[in-house]
Structure 1
């Protein structure tokens, strides 16, 4: 039996809770495809920072490089400045492992009521450049002056754009490049230029240019026609959070941090650590479950990610499984146990998720 070695980083707040709820589902889905899963639990995050002065060891990236993938919970706690923890852990890992692309699938779910109602099902993917932009860490503070420099390189834009076009070919063949080229004179015109050049290699994929403010309005008014959104680091971060609000909230938002064609990738629910509900057992584990599905896609475990998505689809149709953020009273364990039960039904017992909702990531090997 082939084996996977998966590192888990529970992190802070509800992070360890959603990781614990996800692991039995991840294992069951992988084992159904003949793949065993070994997990390596790492106690990185706020507690580690308070104990050692660092959110993770200095050789953290090297430790993760020995694994096939990383499942990450959440980062953030009230007694540590947010920027210290985020830069010390999640952004630090993205840059150290050169996780060039952040992928955030967005889809509506039968049975989940949302604040914004749309006539058409929502099914699109935000593809976000993951190492540069406003999050490059370039700038400084002098007295009352703060300077944050956005860095955009042809190399980073091109590899993100190619990922977006490759993904669009698997889906419905449309890429929307989201920039602010009308007001920002250097970085975003470079995005336009490089993406247009990459597009020449994908004549079968439609490309449109949309300003970020217009895209924000369109996502709320007409999200049904979107397919793949190609975004800078900052714009992808903001728009994907807005998108989560369209499909049930942050508890429904998975993500993948990947270097296309290589590994390991880091897979995490988009939601934060939610310290206000930590320990209450009511955090929504769906985003973490769907992140595990992306991990299994990326590591080439055939059919396993689809099993998880199908089981989540079946589970969410029952309001009794909904956690409080979805308007229900179920616990974290109630929801994840239902997903595991539906996943373990005999072949043919659980309906498949619609194929247009599935995201296939390029296979990675260690």
Structure 2
């Protein structure tokens, strides 16, 4: 029996997570769900604690974690950081894995049909870069204010994310940086990249500056297999690939410790407060995140079955309004499970 920590979170998180859990449950893999439905903005506003030590221990002791969404306009940014970034840093979830696959031609914003079928993954370094919180403000709220955010790259961190990217490549790896302008961190990434390429001469490789990568993704996303990059560039590029694949409502992600195998799996659409209670939130991103969870636990057949079921409901037009359909969140989840 494998315990899965479930953090429904805020906004539409509980609605879409419910569909993901139901889908996992019907597959019969003996998963046990430990639901932490009190880890949310309401609790934070009452107690000032985003994620207690006891709750962190429960999550760390599980086989994997499934997250809905975290964030609330009533709470400051310390809340979301206290949940998401604490889990990422404390559990050393250094890989952010963001696959993007076009499920149907009608979802693509691209005019050229031959270039629409994107099927790639963005591997984003998840524990370094600009999001470490290193920096500060001098003379805040004055005309002489200075604000500094430091971008951190370590040889250890860069090496392991590059090696992970090569480990999941089917045909090629493209490393994206801005080493022509960001000299010191860029030089470190380039050094590690040269060594990583040398260890895997069997895999095709390429390098792009981040501005050129953005243009090439829009021009022809089918040219990419695996893109590996730092934290901030990966944040941006993975949202672009998600939109090229049909929108954030269908986008799944995994935060992985490549050494221990532990993963935190979540859709990337956020809390979507305008959809809360309407019954129209798209559960596909959460369900596909559950498929990534199954894959990480070794249930490859189950993950394949879930993706095939999602493809079938999409092809049949059994989708929520964001994808041009008329079904509710519950109805889409039920349609997916019916295909299973």
TM-score range, shorter chain: over 0.9
Aligned residue for 1:334?
331
| 3-state SS in 2 of match to 1:200 | helix
Tell me whether 1:52 sits opposite 2:47 in the alignment.
Answer: yes
Higher helix share: 2
Return the alpha-carbon distance in structure 1 between the equivalents of residues 207 and 226 of structure 2. 12
Q: CA deviation at 1:111?
A: 5.8
Return the alpha-carbon distance in structure 1 between the equivalents of residues 80 and 233 of structure 2. 18
Aligned residue for 1:280?
278
Return the alpha-carbon distance in structure 2 between the equivalents of residues 206 and 302 of structure 1. 26
Aligned residue for 1:102?
96
Aligned residue for 1:115?
109
Give the superposed CA RMSD.
Answer: 1.2
Q: Deviations over 1:165-192 (max 9, x none)?
A: 0111xx2x20000000111011122111
Deviates more, 1:246-255 or 1:111-120: 111-120
Q: 1:256 aligns with which of 254, 257, 264?
A: 254
| 3-state SS in 2 of match to 1:141 | strand
Number of residue-to-residue matches in the alignment: 332
- TM (norm. structure 2) is 0.95
Return the alpha-carbon distance in structure 1 between the equivalents of residues 184 and 222 of structure 2. 32
Aligned residue for 1:75?
70
1:68–1:263 CA contact under 8 A, matched in 2? no
For structure 1, which runs of at least 5 residues remain unmatched after alignment?
344-366
Return the alpha-carbon distance in structure 1 between the equivalents of residues 88 and 283 of structure 2. 23
In the TM superposition, what are the counterparts of 1:153-232 in structure 2 within 5 Å? 153-168=154-169, 171=170, 173-232=171-230
Q: 1:309 aligns with which of 307, 310, 314?
A: 307
Return the alpha-carbon distance in structure 1 between the equivalents of residues 3 and 133 of structure 2. 31
Q: Deviations over 1:334-358 (max 9, x none)?
A: 1111110001xxxxxxxxxxxxxxx
Return the alpha-carbon distance in structure 1 between the equivalents of residues 184 and 54 of structure 2. 36
Aligned residue for 2:17?
19
Aligned residue for 1:151?
152
- TM (norm. structure 1) is 0.88
2:5–2:58 CA contact under 8 A, matched in 1? no
For structure 2, which runs of at least 5 residues remain unmatched after alignment?
none
| 3-state SS in 2 of match to 1:124 | strand
Return the alpha-carbon distance in structure 2 between the equivalents of residues 113 and 337 of structure 1. 22
Q: 1:131 aligns with which of 99, 115, 127?
A: 127
The 1:165–1:249 alpha-carbon spacing in structure 2 relative to 1, beyond 3 Å, is same
Q: CA deviation at 1:271?
A: 0.9
Q: 2:83 aligns with which of 84, 89, 95?
A: 89
Return the alpha-carbon distance in structure 2 between the equivalents of residues 97 and 112 of structure 1. 39
2:3–2:31 CA contact under 8 A, matched in 1? yes
| 3-state SS in 1 of match to 2:92 | coil
2:93–2:255 CA contact under 8 A, matched in 1? yes
Aligned residue for 2:290?
292
Return the alpha-carbon distance in structure 2 between the equivalents of residues 292 and 341 of structure 1. 17
Q: CA deviation at 1:270?
A: 0.8
Q: Deviations over 1:75-97 (max 9, x none)?
A: 1111112x212211111110010
Aligned residue for 1:358?
none
The 1:307–1:218 alpha-carbon spacing in structure 2 relative to 1, beyond 3 Å, is same
1:86–1:92 CA contact under 8 A, matched in 2? no
Return the alpha-carbon distance in structure 1 between the equivalents of residues 108 and 320 of structure 2. 14
Return the alpha-carbon distance in structure 2 between the equivalents of residues 5 and 273 of structure 1. 25
Return the alpha-carbon distance in structure 2 between the equivalents of residues 92 and 26 of structure 1. 26
| 3-state SS in 1 of match to 2:215 | helix
| 3-state SS in 2 of match to 1:91 | helix
2:94–2:255 CA contact under 8 A, matched in 1? yes
| 3-state SS in 2 of match to 1:224 | helix
